[in-house]
Amino acid sequence: MPTSGLDRKASGSVVSKRTEGLLNERPSEKRTSWNIPASTLSKNTRNVIREIVEKLKLTPNPDKPMIPLSIGDPTTFGNLNVAEQAIDAVKRSIDSNKHHGYAHSAGHEFARAAICKYVEHQGSVTPNDIIICSGCSSALEMCILAIAEAGQNILLPKPGFPLYNTLAESLHIECKYYDLLPETNWEADLVQLESLIDSKTAAILVNNPSNPCGSVFSREHLKKIVEIAERNFVPIIADEIYEHFVFPGSEHVAVSSLAENVPVLSCGGLTKRFLVPGWRMGWIVIHDRNGVLGEVSTGIRNLSTRILGSNTIIQGALPDILEHTPQSFYDDIIDILHNNAKLAFDILSEVPGFKPIMPAGAMYMMVGIDIDNFPEYQDDLHLVQELVTEQSVFCLPGSCFGIDNYVRIVLTVPEDMIKEACIRMAEFCDQHYKVDNRIIDKGLLFVGKY
């Protein structure tokens, strides 16, 4: 006999009468063929760098080995190696047999406590203010997801890391761009920045030190950004993954250390400073001195449950990594990056057609292109493509970062490789840079026919 609203069919299955009724009411909605559409989110997700690079026809010169100055992974070339102390810490974490299971979705408390100590320079926080994520990119995504929604907007730097755009626009969050000015070492155009703020502005994103610019904001400049945020009651998302990649003569100041009344979500991680992007260890530090981010903080914690926590092996090693990696390890990396920056700047400064801007930190340099004096090429994409064809040197075009007529070069390559790349770039300019119907070759002007 049927029981409790259930009916048994001839097949032997048990079907609720409600479900059977729904199926009978909507027979026309059944699929009659394979038609599986992608989700709106997936269709709206686009990676600008990938889109641009895939359109380029890159055919390196077979007589010259390829030098990719485009890859933002410090491990690519094998000249920068992970500290032994960090590797040993991971081995101990594995051997302990204590870190193979799930952690709290926000991360083990002992790991969050270690991060608290590590970020003391940002301002006083507790383990409850830390969310451990799967890399800094995951931290950025969680911050944007928690603080903004469709119809709102966030302010992003231009030039800037294109992942910000990818994360926001896929959710129908509008991206508004404030300019970083090359003539002032990539400081933000503060007047323009404030003019972009409206009632729908959910956050200002500040990337300091900058990818792709390699700039480091002064304390005074950061204070002005904080003042704008405070006047307009807009929180700040701080991408500070390069906070310790600062060259001699410059100082990194955490924006949260200046923001008494402005809430800041600071995103960081092991990725760059510790040379371990593949370990996927990042974090969010919630600086909310006046308790105005209550719902957002809860939202971030809710979002952390979507992945059930970050890599627990690395969490187990985190206290030792953060405390026992020697200062000499960090200093050696900065020395390598700074020396490469100076080398590239010195060579390219002498090259007609290129205008390098000396970075103050991070691991990149932006190089301006006098595109009008390269009449053979339509834009920076075209020039980059031909630079690969002739010289087997690949730089990312400025278009990838929202700015035309620049290229970004990576400074993590071995010294001899970056020297060779810059010499080849100079050779390229010798062949193609033209002024008033003349070509500059080896520092001399002569009439050319074009």
pLDDT value at residue 445: 32
DSSP annotation string for 385-430: HHHHHHH-EE-EEGGGGT-SSEEEEES-S-HHHHHHHHHHHHHHHH
- What is the rounded distance in angstroms from the CA atom of residue 402 to the CA atom of residue 210? 14
> Any residues with CB less than 8 A from the CB of 105 and at least 6 apart, and which?
301, 304, 305, 307, 308, 309
pLDDT value at residue 186: 98
The pLDDT of residue 440 is above 90: no
From 1-15, 247-261, 287-301, the region with the lowest mean pLDDT: 1-15
Looking at residue 129, its amino acid is D
- Only one residue has tokens 């991680």, namely 269
Looking at residue 205, its amino acid is L
- Summarize the confidence of residues 56-80 as an average pLDDT: 92
Helices (H), 69-212: 84-95, 109-118, 135-147, 163-169, 190-195
pLDDT value at residue 84: 98
15: confidence class by pLDDT, cuts 50, 70, 90? low
- What is the rounded distance in angstroms from the CA atom of residue 193 to the CA atom of residue 150? 21
pLDDT value at residue 449: 27
Radius of gyration from C-alpha coordinates of the chain:
26
Q: What is the pLDDT of residues 39-60, one digit of tens each?
A: 888 888 888 887 887 778 889 9
26: confidence class by pLDDT, cuts 50, 70, 90? low
- pTM of the shown model: 0.89
Are the C-beta atoms of residues 405 and 415 closer than 8 Å to each other?
A: no
Nearest to 311 by CA among 101, 128, 96: 101
Strands 393-394 and 67-68: parallel
Looking at residue 375, its amino acid is P
- What is the rounded distance in angstroms from the CA atom of residue 246 to the CA atom of residue 331? 10
Helices (H), 288-326: 294-304, 312-324
pLDDT value at residue 164: 96
The pLDDT of residue 16 is above 90: no
Question: Omega of the bond prior to 209 within 30 degrees of 0, cis?
Answer: yes
The pLDDT of residue 29 is above 50: yes
25: confidence class by pLDDT, cuts 50, 70, 90? low
- What is the rounded distance in angstroms from the CA atom of residue 247 to the CA atom of residue 447? 42
Percent above pLDDT 70 for the chain: 90
- What is the rounded distance in angstroms from the CA atom of residue 28 to the CA atom of residue 447? 76
- What is the rounded distance in angstroms from the CA atom of residue 25 to the CA atom of residue 14? 19
Describe the crossing of helices 294-304 and 135-147 by its angle, rounded to 10 degrees: 130
> Any residues with CB less than 8 A from the CB of 402 and at least 6 apart, and which?
158, 159, 160, 162, 177
pLDDT value at residue 46: 82
Which of the two residues, 447 and 255, has the higher pLDDT score?
Answer: 255
Q: What is the pLDDT of residues 227-281, one digit of tens each?
A: 999 999 999 999 999 999 999 999 999 999 999 999 999 999 999 999 999 999 9
- Summarize the confidence of residues 102-111 as an average pLDDT: 96
The pLDDT of residue 448 is above 50: no
Q: What is the pLDDT of residues 296-335, one digit of tens each?
A: 999 999 999 998 889 999 999 999 999 999 999 999 999 9
Mean pLDDT of the chain: 91
The domains found in the chain, sorted by start residue, are 48-79+328-434 (3.90.1150.10), 84-324 (3.40.640.10)
SS3 20: helix
From 166-180, 234-248, 299-313, 426-440, the region with the lowest mean pLDDT: 426-440
The pLDDT of residue 12 is above 60: no
- Summarize the confidence of residues 357-370 as an average pLDDT: 98
